[in-house]
Amino acid sequence: LSNRELSLVLNVGEEIGKKFQEDNDRLLKKGDFLILEDYFPHVDKKPHITSTIKTIIKRKNKTSYILVTRWDISELIAIQRKLELSNRELSLVLNVGEIMPWTWDISKNEISIYDATNNGVGNPEKECIVKTFKQMESEICPNDLPKFMALHDDILSGKIDKYSADYRAYHTDIGYKWFTIHGVVSKRDKNGKALIITGATYDISGRKHIEQTLIEAKESDRLKSAFISNMSHEIRTPLNAIVGFS
């Protein structure tokens, strides 16, 4: 059949008929089966996305034919596209807010960190970083480590279900940065033992810098006030003596 004849038989447009014929030619050349996604007209006269399997059925002493099986996956594709868009929007929000969600699988000793700030927005391979707890521990500032480990012991022992803390972690490019970490036990075994902890880490270096600047500014104001007060006293003392002498 020509492309036009095929399109008339299938009641589809000539362009779709041409695509069908090209797929059939590929199938005949391949010789067994073909799996593909294509568009196929529906009763609503709109092309729907279908998952198609075309198989050559060979029969001895009889005419061989092509068996075509189709599944309408238009709704599934639409959902996947919405999910991809939502994931991308979420990645952008996490990137702007410098937020890193993470999941700690205690039994596997794996901490999966979703780092949208790692130049990997939209690329799961770059966004997901997997570390062990020992690796995380080695990056924490020694001054903050005791507090961090105490929280770690409390949540594993069941004393607490969630925690929050500020700490410094080392980055090879710029040294220590400040972070806030929030974690909660999201899964336990039948005995109540923590299996999975889920949380998020925020970069608060900017906030800490502002806090330190305010502390230094207040200290500077205090020193200025003390200096002025002292100078006033030093100036008043000789003046009083002169007035008393006169």
CB 119 within 8 A of CB 126: yes
pTM metric for this prediction: 0.53
Greatest alpha-carbon pair distance for the chain in Å reads 140
pLDDT band per the 50, 70, 90 thresholds, residue 231: low
In this model, does residue 197 exceed pLDDT 90?
Answer: yes
Instruction: Tell me how crowded residue 116 is: count the other CB atoms within 10 A of its CB.
Output: 23
Q: How are the residues of the chain apportioned to helix, strand and coil, as percentages rounded to the nearest 5?
A: 45, 30, 20
Q: What is the mean pLDDT of the chain?
A: 77
Q: What percent of the chain has pLDDT over 90?
A: 7
From residue 31, give the alpha-carbon distance in Å to each of 3, 66, 123, 168: 21, 11, 37, 62
Q: What percent of the chain has pLDDT over 70?
A: 72
Tell me what pLDDT residue 48 has. 78
Report which of 185, 191, 132 is spatially closest to residue 156, judged by C-alpha positions.
185
Tell me what pLDDT residue 196 has. 93
Quote the Cα angle for 147-148-154, to 5°.
Answer: 90
In this model, does residue 6 exceed pLDDT 90?
Answer: no
Q: pLDDT for 46-88, tens place per residue? A: 767 888 888 888 888 888 888 888 888 888 888 888 887 877 7
pLDDT band per the 50, 70, 90 thresholds, residue 11: low
Average pLDDT over every residue of 35-55: 77
Alpha-carbon span 197 to 50, nearest angstrom: 40
Which residues fall within 8 angstroms of residue 36, CB to CB, at 6 or more apart?
A: 23, 52, 54
pLDDT band per the 50, 70, 90 thresholds, residue 14: low
Tell me what pLDDT residue 234 has. 55
